[in-house]
Each structure stands twice: as structure tokens, then as C-alpha cells.
Structure 1
């Protein structure tokens, strides 16, 4: 085809990704170990797969109700009460095609062009483009290493003005692996109430916490249930990334607005995936703990090895499955370091700058890959760094 079409400004303004270029380089190079993936390397647990297979065999291959099947929403409401301390009725839940769709629906439902959303920086790489796509303005909230990658409440308050509508938080964090402490969340609650703001709480990694740390849901704090949207995913906890299933819970007026938009985006989340999600929530949770323990084993390995390397330092991740080492003493930018690791060590990592300007000087390393591969990747990186 030779016809050239005029692409929308909305699409043209989306940022290009250096990670895409690095991925292409990795494909062209043989014997590359990837520490890039943001999804579990585990196969979906058998009892969940079996529920999906039975659903297909029984003919559950049609549309579901717009906001989600009743059985699925009831299981989610029960889980939120038991695990998170969140009181949400089934009517206050929308089942979506992953939590990322839920985040987008929430942004479209609540934020008008020109209004502001405060986003964690470094933060999940989809936040800023998502905000910009709806013609809103993203405002970066720095997460500094010296603060354990927690935000400074005073700095947050200085970023708020009359156009600020939403604050996004992500704990445990992608990419830093940090967890927001209860006292930080309580200060955030005070700020949200004082300035009449809504919190988007992205909790996709809630079950992946280590060293006795506890995940605290923002909506469980006093006075916050009516101003927090809680976003959850089955992708990370249950290794169900390909099922494309997630959900959001929150105030009924926002949920109704999101449901109206959901009709015109994906209509409904996949029926088979919703049935599998019920089994995930109601069935044995042994698989969740087994995966968490293996991630913890890998976390300890990657942290130990990074600590032993010259010119590289890394805080021990408290959650998720990412390390976020500081590579600034190598005298390279994040992109340059990622290219260096790929070319000299044949290891793929993600430049920290992909996650915001406060990610410069870092790279993200995923330990959602086999223990043996992580060992080999660390051997290669250490050898390359010592020879530099």
C-alpha cells in the first residue's frame, strides 16, 4: 500500500520508546537473556486453566453483562472485603480487560481536557501517555531513591493547584519495587480530603510483597472509600496476563460512568476469563504463595549480585518483581547502559528513563524469569562492568 494517511495529533504525540529499539536489537542478537518482561514467567495454575476449559466446553463463549458477570463481581467483592478491608458491593465494581483498561476508563470518566493528574515518577510507563491521550496534563511526582522511592507529602502538596483532579499511586511499584508505608498513605489521605481529589490506586502487585511487609489498600483507610478507585489485575497474582482480566472498585457514580464508557470500548471482559477469575479467587491460594516464594528467592539473588558489582547500587525491592539499580556511576545514561548491557553482556534490561525523568540513571531488571537465567545474566553483567 502506498496511500499516506493523516494520523491524529493524539497518536503522533505519544512518546516513542527507546525500549522498542532495544527489543529489536535483542531479537537480532542470539543468546540474549531478557530481564525485560513485565509479566510472570509461570504458567497459569492448573485449576484456573481447567475452569476456563470447562467454560469453553459448556459454551460460555458469548458476551457477558456490560459491567461483568454477577458471579465474578460477587467473588471480587468478597475478596476485597477479606483481603483488603474494602467494603464494595458488586454494583461498585466493573470487570475490565485488564486493569489498564480500567485505568483508561477511569481517566476518561473523571478528567476533562486541561485538567491535571499527578503521576508517580518513575512510574508505570503507560500512565503519562494515558493522561495525554485524553488531553489532560500529567504532573510528575518524584520518587527518590534516598526516600526509599516514596514520595514527599510536602512536595506533593506544592504540585497541587485548582486544575488538579487525580493522584495516581502504585504500590507495590513498577518499576522500583517500593511499597508505600501506612503513614505515607495516611498523609496522602489528608491531602486528598483537603483538596477534594480522587486517588487512583493501582494495586496490581498487591500479593507480591516480601520480608514480612504488608500491602495496605488506600481505600481501606478511614474516610477514603468514597474518593478512591482501586485497580486490580489477575495478570501478576495468578499468572493470567493472556486472559486480559482485571477490575476496578470505587464510588458508585464513578463506576456507573465507567460502565457507560465500557459499553463503547470493549463491551465486556471475556466471559471465559471472568469464569476463570472466579476460580482464581475462590479456589486454592497455594499457587499464589508458591509463586511469591520463588520470586522472593530470585529477588534475593539479584539483589545480592547487584550489591557485589562495582559502580552499581540497588535498594532491595520490597514488592513486585523488579530491581531498579542505580547505574549513574558507570558514567552512562539509562539508554546507554541498557545498550551496553545488551551489546557487551547480551542481557536485555529496560532504561529507567522509560518510566519518567526521575528514572534517569537507573535501569529496570525483571526477576520474572528463571533463577538460572538470572544467575547467568548477573555473571555476564558483572564481567562486562569489570572490563569497562
Structure 2
């Protein structure tokens, strides 16, 4: 949808971008200053292939204090975004013929990478009637002798579920009993609402040994363009992942890593302020969507996405998203991009625009919905 929206903008349209999962905020000043100082200090040459020692030490402290993981600097691989971390993990761990369980609605970037390894994606539906929670029976039923891996996104993209410690414990029990490797994408670890606490599945008993945890600076610190992430795993797992990553990019940007150190070790108030604003935006979008005839939306518990059901309006979701873009100049993503369970839905990023622009987007969307709803009531 982004190229379509950009084409409209080139024609002079005022498009509100709710399709791209990018923060609406600027990177905090102290993070940018740290990178500038690194440039001035001549930190511009090749660095440690695994990521700078200084950053990996800072991340090891964060992983211990916030995530409860027994990680040292040797367990951290700094990558060019979480995207590279996930690609390198799949390439290192999977072989042709392997099967990978992916909870659905799913983040659409993981399955194509899995397919490149020759492995097969096996979708496992979440339970929409319970707010897109894990259904252990469906997970167990999807496992075959070829199943090697379970991929988890927590908090979930696109549905905004924050999986509880009890839910993760059930998945951990299945992974241990069925000898599965777990890959967990935790890019939204800090973005949770209403007092919910993020839990890393690798912190549960018996899971450190069989889990690759993936993180990034992208969302929490508004550093999406910096392209910095990191993979965390026991050294024997991480070594294989590192071999893939170093042959892709050698190592990540060195002066950007100095900014990342400032993000981890500096004042965390800007991060808290951004999450508070994300919650305000969530509340607005949730309330406005549910007030539209024929639209239903569950309350996102985390992340920066709402996933409204627009099937009651009688249009397939790709057609609805296309018409909403062209007639209301509001860009969203069709839910069918997130698997079969996403059909009839839209992904709406409430974290990508300032509050006032979100209000305008909801006004435009409400007007469009009113124009199509009567014919399908």
C-alpha cells in the first residue's frame, strides 16, 4: 500500500499514513548526539563483527534486568535491524523439509524468509473469540515429525496481543516436550498498555537452551531508520547465526551503535513518554473504529496496531483498503496480508501519525464507512 499512497502524494493528495509500522516520533536527542559525537571522534571504521563490546555489554545488562535472561555479551549478536536477525536465524537453523509453526494472524515478513530455506510454514490460528489468545490444542495438532520450530511475535503484530506468562508457559511446555526450537520476535517488548507486563519466553524454565530471542531499537526508541537489532541465544546457537550475518553485512554500523548505547543506558523518560502517547492514540482509534457501523475492533494490549474487522461492510479487505486510500486518502493495510485469519480485516497503525492526524484519519474513514455501510446493512 505504501507505493500506492506515495503515488497519490506525488499527485498532490494529502495522504495519512496508517499502513507503515513506523513511529511518529523523532529519535530522542541524546541518542542522536551520541552518534554525532562518535562521528566526530572518528568512530567510522570497521568494528567488532558481533557488534561493539560496549553495546553488547549494555544489552547484556538490559537483558538481565528487564527480560530476566542469563545473557552475557557473548550471547548477543548486533544486526542490521531485527529483519537481518530473523533472516540469519532461519537460514542457520532450518533445512529443506522442516516445518515451522507460525501463529496467525502473522507478521508477513517471517514466512518468506522461512520459505527461502526450503522449510514450510504451518499457520496456527490464534483464538479471535478470546482476543487472539494462544490455543494450545491447535498448536499440538499442528505438530508433525517434521516440525522443528515455533515462531512467536510478542506483543503480536498485527493483533496487539500481549501473551501472558501462563500462555507462554504452555507454549514452553509444548516446545520442551516436542523438542522444538522457539524464535521469538520481541520488537514491541516495551510497548504494552493498561499495566500489562512483557514476558520473554526464554526466561521460563528450560527455555533459554532452545530459544533465539530477537529485539530491535526500532519502535521503543523511534530508531527505525537506524537499522539496528540484535539476536540473543546460547553461544552454540548464536555461533551459527553469526556465521550467516557476518557473510551478509560483515557487521552493523559502528557510529549508530554508539547511539544505541545511549538508548539503552541513558534517560528512559522519552521512551515512557512515547508509549504514553501511543496509548492515547490507541484509545482514540479503538473508540472511533468501534463507533463506525459494520466495524468491530478488539482492544490492542500492546504494539502500535489495531486490527479492525470490516467484513460487515461487504467488501473484500483488499478492495476496502484500496477504496479507502483513493477516496479518503487514508492508507491502511489489508488484513489478508497477514494470513487467512486476516481476511476481512485491516491493519491500522495508530503509532505512525501524530494524534491530530489520527483524528483526521478517523473522520475521513468514518465518512467513507458511512458511504458504503447503508447498502450492506
Which TM-score band (shorter chain)?
Answer: over 0.9
* 1:264 aligned counterpart, secondary structure: helix
- 8 Å Cα contact 2:289/2:295 also seen in 1: yes
Tell me the residue number matched to 1:353.
336
Distance change in 2, residues 1:29/1:326 (3 Å):
farther
* 1:385 aligned counterpart, secondary structure: helix
Tell me the residue number matched to 1:302.
285
Provide, for residues 73-110 of structure 1, a one-character-per-residue CA deviation record: whole Å limited to 9, x for no partner. Answer: 11010000000111111111111001110111111111
Q: How does 1:98-109 map to 2 (within 5 A)?
A: 98-109=81-92
For 1:316, which of 299, 315, 336 is the aligned residue?
Answer: 299
**1:26 shift after superposition:** 6.0
- 8 Å Cα contact 2:9/2:15 also seen in 1: yes
Distance change in 2, residues 1:26/1:361 (3 Å):
farther
Provide, for residues 198-225 of structure 1, a one-character-per-residue CA deviation record: whole Å limited to 9, x for no partner. Answer: 1101000011000111111101111111
- In the alignment, structure 1 residue 378 sits paired with structure 2 residue 362: yes
- In the alignment, structure 1 residue 96 sits paired with structure 2 residue 102: no
- 8 Å Cα contact 1:120/1:142 also seen in 2: yes
CA distance in 2: counterparts of 1:121 and 1:296, whole angstroms: 24
CA distance in 2: counterparts of 1:252 and 1:196, whole angstroms: 19
CA distance in 1: counterparts of 2:130 and 2:181, whole angstroms: 24
For 2:183, which of 200, 215, 233 is the aligned residue?
Answer: 200
Tell me the residue number matched to 1:39.
22
**1:29 shift after superposition:** 6.1
For 1:81, which of 64, 85, 108 is the aligned residue?
Answer: 64
CA distance in 1: counterparts of 2:11 and 2:180, whole angstroms: 47
**1:25 shift after superposition:** 5.2
CA distance in 2: counterparts of 1:193 and 1:142, whole angstroms: 21
**1:19 shift after superposition:** 6.2
For 1:68, which of 33, 44, 51 is the aligned residue?
Answer: 51
- Greater CA deviation, 139-148 or 278-287? 139-148
**1:24 shift after superposition:** 4.2
- 8 Å Cα contact 2:102/2:151 also seen in 1: yes
Shift >2 Å, 4+ stretches: 18-29
- In the alignment, structure 1 residue 286 sits paired with structure 2 residue 269: yes
**1:121 shift after superposition:** 1.6
- In the alignment, structure 1 residue 267 sits paired with structure 2 residue 267: no
CA distance in 2: counterparts of 1:64 and 1:141, whole angstroms: 41
**1:340 shift after superposition:** 2.1
Tell me the residue number matched to 2:375.
none
* 1:184 aligned counterpart, secondary structure: helix
List gaps (5 residues or longer) in structure 2.
373-377
CA distance in 2: counterparts of 1:22 and 1:235, whole angstroms: 22
**1:325 shift after superposition:** 0.3
**1:23 shift after superposition:** 5.5
**1:27 shift after superposition:** 5.1
CA distance in 1: counterparts of 2:149 and 2:11, whole angstroms: 42
- 8 Å Cα contact 1:26/1:348 also seen in 2: no
**1:68 shift after superposition:** 1.1
* 1:226 aligned counterpart, secondary structure: helix
**1:264 shift after superposition:** 0.7
Q: CA RMSD in A?
A: 1.3
Tell me the residue number matched to 1:243.
226
